[in-house]
Amino acid sequence: MFQGLFNYDNPVWRFIGKLGDLVLLNLLWVICCIPVFTAGAATTAVYYVTLKLVRDDDGSTIKSFFHSFTQNFKQATAIWLMILVAGGLLGFDLWFLMSGVVTVSTVVKTVMSAVFGAMTLILLFVTTYIFPLQARFYNTVKRTLFNAFFMSVRHLLQTISMLIIDGLVVAGVYVALYMVPQVSMLLLLFGFPLIAFINSYFFTEIFKKYIPKEEDQEHSNGISPLLDENNQEIEDAIQSLKGK
């Protein structure tokens, strides 16, 4: 019994090891996010590691993190800056509308608020998927953006589930900060990688639908069609899986 208990392949020890990896990932993520413009590459690297953790792929956490960070730095940074600009513009437009700087009718304000709200939701959907996709698939920035939007809508139930769970985790940390500070500080040790790890269970199942089976590789050329196999535009949307 004791031999099995102290076996490092034991599920309990593997789980504890993953918690340790999340703490280490959080430290790496915070450090690499300090320049701000590198946050996209750091977030992609976190998902690269958490997706491997969910699949029980062995490997050094630090080595895997910086492998992804350097490999995806250019595209992930471009994507991150685009998201920042889009989010900034939406936030400014919403503030401008609500601040009363320009007087508009109640109907116009309601309609515009609904439009900005829908655009914000779309941006949130895309942001949820964009970095896991960048970590998992080879694609251009344009294709990655398209795939993030397409997948988030196609797998709407999973998307909403992830957003709800992520919101509950953040709310739980916030509430614990005032009610049980010790628990909150413990959760903060895991930080964003905890959310990425939870989301990675969803993404692993979602991405399986776009990864051709090994025996079909010759016929699919490494491409898994999303909607219609006769639609070349859609067929090209998801390209070859990174060799990980």
| Rg value, the chain, Cα | 20
pLDDT of residue 9: 60
Exposed/middle/buried for residue 81 (C-beta within 10 Å: 0-12, 13-18, 19+): middle
Kindly state the greatest CA–CA separation across the chain. 74
pLDDT at residue 189 in the model: 86
Q: Does the pTM of the predicted model rise above 0.85? A: no
- Spatial separation of the C-alpha atoms in residues 215 and 52, rounded to whole Å: 23
80 neighbors 40 (Cβ within 8 angstroms)? yes
What is the three-class DSSP state of 241?
strand
Measuring CA to CA, how many Å separate 234 from each of 83, 86, 125, 149? Answer: 23, 25, 19, 13
For 42, the 3-state DSSP assignment is helix
Rounded-to-integer distance, Cα 150 and Cα 237, Å: 9
Contact 104, 14 (CB under 8 A): no
**How many helices, marked H, and strands, marked E, lie in the chain?**
11, 0
89 phi and psi, to 5 degrees? -65, -45
| CB-CB contact of 54 with 198 (8 Å) | no
User: For residue 157, what are the contacts with CB-CB under 8 A and spacing of at least 6?
Assistant: none
Burial class (CB in 10 A: 0-12, 13-18, 19+), 44: buried
Q: What is the pLDDT of residue 8?
A: 53
pLDDT in single tens digits along all 244 residues of the chain: 444 444 456 666 677 778 889 999 999 999 999 999 999 999 999 999 999 999 888 778 999 999 999 999 999 999 999 999 999 998 887 887 777 666 767 777 778 888 888 999 999 999 999 999 999 998 899 999 999 999 999 999 999 999 999 999 888 887 877 777 666 677 788 889 999 999 999 999 999 888 766 534 443 333 333 333 334 444 454 444 444 4
Best CA proximity match to 33, nearest among 23, 22, 45 = 45
| Dihedral in degrees, nearest 10, Cα atoms 185, 187, 191, 193 | 160
What's the pLDDT at 104?
Answer: 66
